[in-house]
């Protein structure tokens, strides 16, 4: 569904993403892990057009062929069918839950630039928003202002916004960040659900979640891929143990700062 070849991003003398060959397959849930500063968020920013590569290619499979996304703008990437959520909650707090998703659905469709029309005439987008909210467990809160949601509910809303427009690929950047322990299971169930009909690339620090939900795990260290395999193989990889997991065992999670403060968002 989505692939890179030799993808590289330099910031002056620092290489944040280093010659990365990557492929996300149709129907796959792949997790991207690595220590802070490994290049995970920079890699996401390259895939979604927020940053332009220093070198390499990004391609999306569409209609039986591969379409280049190298150098595309975030809007062009989203229109092509690659949507993302963010580490930091990113919603319109004063708009209702429904309106947050309805606006995203409209932006992904042919009515994106018809802002002069009464939004009540966009019935198809309202219907889509309700379907999405039902899927993410928020339809009962559709008329509530987004600012009134709990942090976990805002995370669910962000996934709902990313689902608007029926993308082919979802990039989920730490959807569990800051979520209370009581809400983690809801987010895990939601991730597993959306992975049933979307290709998903997940950045997540909680190793229990990563090991349990992933079909495949890719490990970055200093911008380069050091492992790409099934969860059991990655867990036992000595290079990964040295670079990141530090003797991870079931029931453990990394104690990293979940804001993942990497250079220029790396």
List the one residue out of 264, 243, 263, 244 whose CA is nearest residue 252. Answer: 244
- What pLDDT, in 10s, does the model give residues 31-72? 999 988 899 999 999 999 999 999 999 999 988 899 999 999
Domains of the chain (ranges; CATH) run 2-81+167-265 (3.40.50.300), 91-166 (no CATH)
The pLDDT tens digits of the residues spanning 68-114 come to: 999 999 999 998 999 998 766 778 999 999 999 999 888 866 544 44
Residue 265 has pLDDT above 60, yes or no: no
Instruction: Name the nearest CA neighbour of 81 among 26, 126, 130.
Output: 26
Q: What is the mean pLDDT of residues 195-217?
A: 92
pLDDT at 217: 97
Tokens 């990004």 sit on residue: 58
Distance CA 99, CA 97 (A): 6
Mean pLDDT for the stretch of residues 16-30? 96
Residue 7 has pLDDT above 80, yes or no: yes
């Amino acid at each position: 569904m989505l692939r890179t070849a030799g993808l590289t991003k330099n910031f002056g003398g620092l290489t944040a993403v280093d010659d990365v060959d990557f492929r996300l397959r149709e129907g796959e849930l792949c997790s991207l892990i690595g220590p802070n500063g490994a290049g995970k968020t920079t890699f996401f920013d390259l895939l979604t057009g927020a940053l332009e590569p220093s070198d390499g290619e990004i391609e999306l499979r569409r209609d039986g062929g591969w379409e280049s996304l190298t150098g595309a703008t975030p809007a062009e990437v989203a229109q092509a069918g690659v949507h993302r959520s963010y580490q930091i909650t990113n919603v319109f707090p004063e708009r209702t839950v429904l309106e947050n998703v309805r606006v995203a659905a409209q932006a992904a469709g042919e009515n994106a630039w018809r802002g002069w029309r009464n939004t009540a005439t966009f019935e198809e987008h309202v219907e889509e928003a309700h379907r999405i909210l039902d899927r993410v467990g928020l339809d009962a809160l559709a008329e509530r202002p987004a600012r009134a949601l709990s942090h976990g509910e805002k995370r669910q809303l962000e996934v709902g916004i990313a689902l608007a427009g029926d993308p082919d690929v979802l990039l989920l950047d730490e959807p569990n960040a800051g979520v209370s322990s009581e809400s983690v299971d809801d987010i895990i169930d939601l991730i597993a659900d959306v992975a049933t009909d979307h290709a998903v690339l997940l950045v997540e620090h909680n190793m229990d979640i990563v090991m349990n939900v992933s079909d495949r795990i890719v490990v970055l260290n200093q911008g380069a891929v050091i492992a790409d395999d099934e969860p059991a193989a990655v867990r036992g990889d000595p290079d990964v143990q040295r670079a990141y997991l530090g003797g991870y065992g079931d029931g453990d999670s990394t104690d990293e700062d979940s804001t993942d403060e990497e250079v220029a968002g790396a």
